[in-house]
Every structure is written in C-alpha cells, then in structure tokens.
Structure 1
Amino acid sequence: MVRIGLLGIVALALLPGAALAQMHGQHGSEAACEEPALRCATKVTPAFGPDGTLWLVWMAGGQVSVASSQDAGRSFSAPVQVTTKRLNLDWGPDARPKIVVDRKGGIALAFSIFRDEAFNGQVLYTRSADGGKSFAELKPITANNESQRFEALALDQDGTVFAAWLDKRNRVPAKEAGQKYEGAGLFFASSRDGGATYTEAALARDNTCECCRLGLTFAAPGRPAVIFRNIFDGGVRDQAVMTFTDVSNPGEIHRVSNDDWQINACPHHGPSLTIAPNGTYHVVWYTNGKARKGLFYAHSRDEGRTFSAPMALGQPGRNPTRPYVLAGATGTVMAWKEFDGEKTSVQMTISRDDGETWSPPKTISSTTDTSDHPLLISSGRQTYLSWMTKADGYRLTAIEDQP
C-alpha cells in the first residue's frame, strides 16, 4: 500500500504543469464549494437519452447528482442526488462519474471512491428505473476488496450495459508467490437488466497501466472495444486496443503506436476511442515517450489490428492535453485543451473524409479559470462539446454550428 501511495505521488510530479495546476484547482474548488449543486461541480459527464433529453451526472460536495435538460443544456431539472451521504469520491484527473441511458429511459451510473489514503478505490454502481426520479441503493461492481478504479460504461444496441475498469486484485497472489506485479488488471462485467445487476468480474488483460481513463465503445452489436495504456516489455507504457469477440470473451490486444514511453509511475492521462459506422477506429492519446511527445491521432481500418502513422495535435508550446474524439453524423471531431499562459481554450478539428484530412484547428471555447476536461457527445443528429468551467458553469456547444 505504501508503494501505491508513492506511485501516486510520483505521478503528480510527472504531470504537465497545467495538468498539475488543474488537478490541484479541481480538488481545491471542491473543498471551497461544499454544495452538491451543479455550479460546484468539478467533473460533469453528459449522455443523451433516446428521446433527445440531455442527462448530466456530476461530482460536487462529495456527492453525485443528476439532472436533465429538454433544451440542449440551456436549463435543467431539479437535481436528484444519487448518493445519500458525503463520500470520498475519486478526485484523480482521469476520474469522473459515468452514465448511459437506454431506450426505455433506464439510467445506469457508475463511479469510484477512495477507500484509503493510498489511492485504493472501489467502483460503485446504481440504476434508475423511473426516468431519473430515484436511484437504487449503491452497490460495488465486484465483491473483491482490492482496488478498483477508472471504470467505463458503454451501452449496446440491445440494452446490454458493458463495464470495464482497472483492478489490482492480482497483486495479492503475486506477492504471496514472491513475484513482482506491475500495474493492474483490465477487468470487465456486463448487465442484461439495464445496470441493475452485473455478471461476475472477469480478467481481460493483466499488467496494464494502473491509472489512466479507459476509452470504451462498441465496434459492432455484442462486441465491446476498449483502448487502454498497456505495459509492454521493458516497462514501456503505450496505448493498446482490444476488441471483444462478445461481451464475455476478450480479444487480442493490438498496439496503437510505438511511442517508447518507459515509465514506472502513473500518467493519469488516458486515451479516447470512437468507431465510425463504417468500422473505422479513431483514437487519440497523450504520450511522453522517447519516440514522440504530446497528443496524437491515428485510425485503423482493420478493426484495430494496424493503425495509421500518428498525427500530432495541438501547439507544443501551449501544453495540449485531454484529447477526445467522436465520430458523428456529419464527420469525426477531435477536441483538446491548450493553455497560452493566460487562458485555457478548447481546440477542435473536423474530418469529413473518415480521418484522411482534417480542418485547421480552431478555438471553440475558452476560460481564464479552472475547468473540467472537454468531452464530445452526439444526439444522433448533432455533435456537441460538453465542458464545465468554474467561471462560466456548464456549456453545451453545437460543433456543426461553428463556422
């Protein structure tokens, strides 16, 4: 446990300056704003329901709450608290509550808490069967008492909820056997009842990097796909993609690029994955490797087996961070943050030809105060930037409306 704590401390020292400042700012702003209200939120995650309703789940004041909007984020319903008491919510840079909304209006949520001061976590889940009016009692996604963090949820066409997370249960038997154990295991489970119950947790891949967000989506009905930072030979922590053969059986892993980032600590800077209707995998990630440094994009037209040459994103002098990619109805959009010394801006670019060419990057939003990561979300007909800032609150900006 001491070693985990030290790794976490080392990770903070390795964060880029703006990212480290943002992490401290988020944690500090949470302490200064004790209410569970949206205005106090540090992490806000959106999801569109099948009827076009925008749902938000957020962390504030040590609690998790939800609200909905019928007018694309201009106004919201009265918040409903998911939690009944203040929790030690996972405040790490890549942590946030997750939400999916099914065709029947059922809402599945998941988030993680810290169980101790060594950053050992527990993933909790719940479900609303009455359109977000109330939520079931919180339950752990697995009965295992080791650390689980960095959960991700994805919704299949048939309503199946697929969950993946990083899990440290295998470190105990390794230690008992006198063996070295690196990283964490990529575990998963699925729910056929809208997130009310989940199957027993299963291992997809052991010895992955233990502290970066996962990118999760469906490549086809019944076939989840996840991007994660894997630990390759020599302690190299580069991105990898795995496509499941079905919700119960993991597939082979394929390396996204050879960045040669050899590090024995936690980057806290995970990737993003989207899969276009034609099957193209689009990925974005951060690296500080020997081969390349910064944000990069690549695509795959063979289900993630091989990827195009990495394309750099952003202006290196402005500390580009937190990339996100989403294939929507009118094109594939990428967004990320940059800091020019005075303000943080969200940059975006669009490809209308499946990732072959991209529009010149442009600023879509900015702030002079702390902010959440930029997220992209689609209503099916429109792609939006979802962004929470301390100064201006929650913003939902239509991408295609930008000149």
Structure 2
Amino acid sequence: MTILALGVNHKTASVEVREKVAFAADKLELALQSLTQLGHVSESVIVSTCNRTELYCHLEQADLEPVVQWLADFHQVPAAELQQYLYQLADTEAVDHLMAVASGLDSLVLGEPQILGQVKQAYQQAKEAGTVGTIFERLFQSTFAIAKDVRTHTEVGQNAVSVAFAAVNLAKHIFSSLKDATVLLVGAGETAELAARHLSEQGVKRMLIANRTRARGEALAQLVGGEAHSLSDLQYLLPQADIVISSTASPLPIIGKGLVESAVKKRRHQPMLLIDLAVPRDVEEQVGDLDDVFLYTVDDLQSIVSANRKQRENEAEAARAMIASQAEAFNAWMRSLNSVDLLKRYRETHQQLAEQALQRALQGLNSGKDPQDLLIELTNRLSNTLMHTPTRAIQEAGRRGDLTALAAYQKLIKE
C-alpha cells in the first residue's frame, strides 16, 4: 500500500501551467471516479485551487506512472510536458505534505487560512463521489485535527504579511470600525483588488473605485460591491473619503497637496487617512504636512510586513514540529495495518482468551463440577467471547453505512 501526493503548485509551475491542470467543480466527481477506475487506486481526493492542483491517492501497489498519465490524459496535456512541473511524494512525505498544506505552511502567503476550508471541501466532494475509504478517512481527519491545533497553539496565521492587508489593518487601528467608513481606492490593479477584498470582509459601508481604465474599475466594483469612477473625478471623490488607498502605476503623483487641502476643507476638517502603496508615489510627500491628514507610504507598511513575516516563519517551525508528531502517529497506525503483525496480534489475543477459558474449566473440574456442564459452559463462554468484538464491529459498520468494512466481514464469514 502506498499513499501518493502528486501535483503542481505556485512553486513549481506558472499560472498558465496551473490553469491547464485545474479541475472545474462540475467535472470533479467524474475525475475522482475515473481516477479510482485505474485499478490500483483504491481511494482518491483532488485538491484544486488557483495556486495548486494535487492528487492524493491510496495505491494498492507503488506504481505512480499510471496516475501521472491519467492526469495528463484527463486535461489533454502531453505527459512529457507536464512531468517537468510535477512533484511526487509517497507515504511519510505525502502525509507530511498534506498536513502542511492544510495548515497553511505551503501557501503562497505563509499561514493563510483559506486553504484549510478548500482541503475540507475537497475531502467532502471525494466522500460524496465515493472515493474516500478507511485509510483516507483516518488521514484527513488527522489532517484537520493538526491544522486546528496549529491555528490554536501557534501564531503562524496572525498579523499582516501583504501590504494590502497591512493597509486595511492600519485603517482598522485608526478607525475603530470600518463599517461606517467610506473608502476610496485609486487604481484597480492586483494590490487594489486585494485591499478591496479585505475591506469588503470588514463590512466597509461604501467603496469608491477610481481608475484610469473605466472597464477595469467597473469589474472590480462589481466584484466587491463598490462604485466605479474615472481618475478625473478625484476632486469630487476625495471629500467623500475617510480612507484613501492608492496604488496606480503613474510615473508622477496624482494626488497633490492642493487637492487634499481642498478636500479637508469640504470635510470640515474631519480626519482623512491616506495610504500610498504605489512606487513611485501616487501622493505628494507634502500632503503629510497637512492638519487632519494621516499619510502612510508603502515603506512604512513594508517594515511592518517584514517583521510580521519573520514572526510567521518562526511560528512555522513550531507548527512543523507539531505536524511531524501527528504524521508519525498516522504512519504508526498505517504500519499497524501490516497483515503479518495484525495476524500475530489476532492469534495472540484469541489464544489468550482460549487459555483463560481452559483454566476456568480446569478449576471447575478440580472443585468437583460435572464435566458435561463444564464443557457446555466452556463452549458457550468461549463462543460469546470470540463473537463479541466482531459483532460490535459489524453493527457499527452497519450504522455508519461502511460498505467496504461490511464486504470484508462478509468475505470472512463465507470463507
């Protein structure tokens, strides 16, 4: 038996390659069932996100090539082309990798929490497709348990490690709540989109988006429930904004001291927070000299981000030690399934039961009890003792609807 983890992620492949092997949600059940029809794949789970596509397989024999070929064929990508981007991990390494992924230690942003939900969803979809059995049930439950422990007992997911997230956290510290705030995003690129998503999660009351290209601004506004405007509207938008986050690619500042000074007057000197994430700067340096204006640049936030990233990396070391312990516990359970060891323990247990029953009968003979009564008692006692554990196991499998276990028990009875 082999547990295999095979896939591509943000470390090994570009987004163009990752897109080629991504699984659409409506094709996932078909893919899972097709994978387990390979013959030697008895269980499978597919994790497919924007940053990774990973196949987790329980193999009856350690032959990985058919799985690689299946992935290539399913997505109509030449196997030779795909092979250079793939990583393949088996058994202990595969288990450790899955637990690290679910705990956020293998993510593009160290410690990000969304991946655990994505792994849980992948597991649930595989269960519904009927491709999760005893081994993967144990593996994924162990994985979810350690991911929860990592979140609870380390700070690997705490503190901002992107300037966009740091900007939103800064705004939260200055404005105790963002639910009543109006935010103006200047620019609609990747950084602005990330900031917009974080702001939306905080329940911002109103989000204004000013961008040079109106179509891109409207697309972002639709994504986060904001209002799209042109950069030429800045003089009308600034007085409405409590918080301004700017991240354009302009070679020159687009928000000058005079523009902000005019906005502050129209706001009757209500405080404004301006966060300039652009390089070169979007906001003139002199804006920071104005009363009632708080100006922060990307350099101010980078120092926060660097310190937070270092702290996360330190916490990740503790998390990896926790994962190693949980992985070893699972691997020990897997080793316990070895047929030779299982048979040895089975024989020892039942020999011990038989010896106990025999000693009880001999004591009865020595005390003068009727031999026939003792034989009947010995037979009944031994029969009930030997049947107790299997009976409980069959009943429990029936309650769970565990057809795999019931089929195994049925095979034992037939033989």
TM-score (normalizing by structure 2) = 0.22
Question: Which structure dedicates a bigger proportion of its chain to helix?
Answer: 2
Which of structures 1 and 2 has the larger relative contact order (alpha carbons within 8 angstroms, sep 6+)?
A: 2
Question: Which structure dedicates a bigger proportion of its chain to strand?
Answer: 1
